[in-house]
Structure 1
Amino acid sequence: MTGSDLSPKVFVSYSHDSPRHKELVRRFSTFLRVEAGIDTHLDQWYEDRRRDWSAWASRHLREADFIMVIASPAYKRRAEGLAPTDEGRGAQYEAAIIRDNLTRNLSAETERVLPVVLPGRSVDEIPDFLCAHSTTHYVVREFTLAGIAELLVALTGVPRFSLPSKGRFVGSPFAGTPFEGTPFEGSPAAGVAFGDSPVGHSPLAATRSGASPVGGPPFVGGAAVPETSQPRRPLPLTSILVPVVRGRDIRLTGARIDGEHYGDSIVLRPTLFASEARGVIEFDLGRRFRRFEVVAGVLDDATEADQVGCFETFHDGVRQPRVECTLGRPARIVQDVSRVLRLRLVAYRPDTVGSPLHAGALSACGRSARLPELAWGNPTVG
């Protein structure tokens, strides 16, 4: 189910632990149905007449696209057969059918049955047969769309990040070398650092003059990269170093910029409001590297295509020239970091609404908080 206009049918299986727990489950189910538009069904809404509750539960367990199992001590005890036969017969009956369905088709029912942990409950209250510690479970800390984001992904099958297309495998850089000491084409000994392309053969081909967007000469901040420096193999910054400073809205993940996928990127993309005015991340280089290189830009799937992204680098607290990017117009930044102890990267959108309260009010009115959707694509040091 991928279309946002298609509402999945969800059946809520839970136990009547206490009046407070029943109310919590009803509030959660009401939020799903009213605010998220999910076709949710709960027994408390069907008490308008005399019913055969076993037949009612069987029909919903059979017809539902998904079954949400609400974790609680009583449900776990009853679902695992540890409660007296006259205690919570409804939960025992529903759990027995769920167990039988899992035995019949483990793969399909694992995707269909969603263990949910509501506020105040624990993962350890999920029945053992749902394997909470080896399969996905869903912790809901608040009844908001952000609070059920992972559930919405499970219901729609649409993740935030899709698997990128695989490029052509480059193989070993030493394949075909006639004998030791003879450089292969494109090796450091041949004059080009491994991982780079000769000038004129890549859309990111580099010269050492001026500043430009991707496709032209690189922007070189601070001192020029020394021409006499021996080329080194570029190393992914986020893989070899742990940040010493990292903003709350910063994520280390993949990014797509101007049609290119960058798997080891630094992404600034708040969800509901910006926790901080600027997205900051800092690394301790320790003067161990000579060259820093990155592609900075607005994410291709940015919600607001007209945003401007600002990118700044700081060498031991000294700001280098700022770079501004727009959608489809990223910039390549190349800097000499041979004398740099600390490298700080700062990204922001100048018009972002800074106040969480103001941002929430705008969101409630259907207006934009102008949140940044920016990335440092594949930063490397060498």
Structure 2
Amino acid sequence: MDLNYTPEQEAFREEVRRFLKDNLPKDIRERVKKRLRPDKAMTQRWQKILFDKGWGASTWPREYGGPGWSPVEQLIFEEECALAGAPRQLDFGLRMVAPVIMTFGNEEQKERYLPRILSGEDWWCQGYSEPGAGSDLASLKTRAVREGDHYVVNGQKTWTTLGQHANWIFCLVRTSNEGKPQEGISFLLIDMNTPGIEVRPITMLDGEHEINEVYFDNVKVPVENLVGEENKGWTYAKFLLGHERTGLANVGQWKAMMKRLRDIAEEQPDGDRVLIENTRFRDRLAQLEIELCALELTVLRVLTDENGPGPQASILKIRGTEIGQALFELVMEAVGPDALAYIPDALEPDYPGSRVGSPDATPAAGDYFNMRKLSIFGGSNEIQRNIIAQRVLGL
């Protein structure tokens, strides 16, 4: 097996690098490189730049406005964006709800929603988890009752990432209590500006407002916002989760962070030498690099499967999140005691106080705290192991 990139793929990489060098705004690049929080305006501005180039959605086919890239080109693009300091694109629209609309939506829904996702005009969030219905998603209780040409939605969603910025949310709602729990769930697209929706912030361990609770109080949703058939939402939800879990492998992001970790190790003092000369540290770094290389090859195998992401996406989710957590833990160890003095406000460029230690120490603990959630969201890793046992190994 030849694991090297072809001359055409290397030429594509150079094209992406030139584009990023010439078009990624300096203020965005510097902010992301310093591990500062990207804001809504920054993310949308970068999406507009990519959209104008025709690169707004690396995984989309040409018929819907994407570049029609191969899986290898998609990985190259994501890796180069991460290395250049580009902000992460909006997965909830581009990689989650968009494939569902493309596959199960009607033509009117495709024409209405897909162009605005691609341009970045609409910001989507995900309404899956509820209090008491996280990994056991089929037990969700948010109810949608049809009344004429509308559904009336009541209930609560939680852990809604970046819901404070969103103007649309895709939701799993219960439309029937008959049969198995999975058989009474529908997939609704809901305008976040609809009366009766309330978003309450949840502050995380790193002091960041990234997630939210979303409440629905007699929210009226037009029937035409139902994707596919009523009570078939579980099928669409599993399809979406396959794409989400594949994306959670985060190969490009982890390769960029691996480079950052190596840079830290080559500068960080370790007695009368630098940390990279410490044999035990170097062994752990090498082990992570090997595991990341294996993950990249596995991602390519899944992406090139003509049937799309299936239960094997659970393998990517487990390994990707475990590698990410191990990587940020090693960053904490590499930075040393300075990483313990984590000050959330110091992540902002106008912070008036002095930062502690090296620039890498400022975000290290916050990143570590944030990454603990990786093995939980998108379906906990314990649930993914059950899926693998049942649907891959047939146990």
Q: Into which bin does the TM-score normalised by the smaller protein fall?
A: under 0.3
Structure with greater helix percent? 2
Q: TM-score normalised to the size of structure 1?
A: 0.23
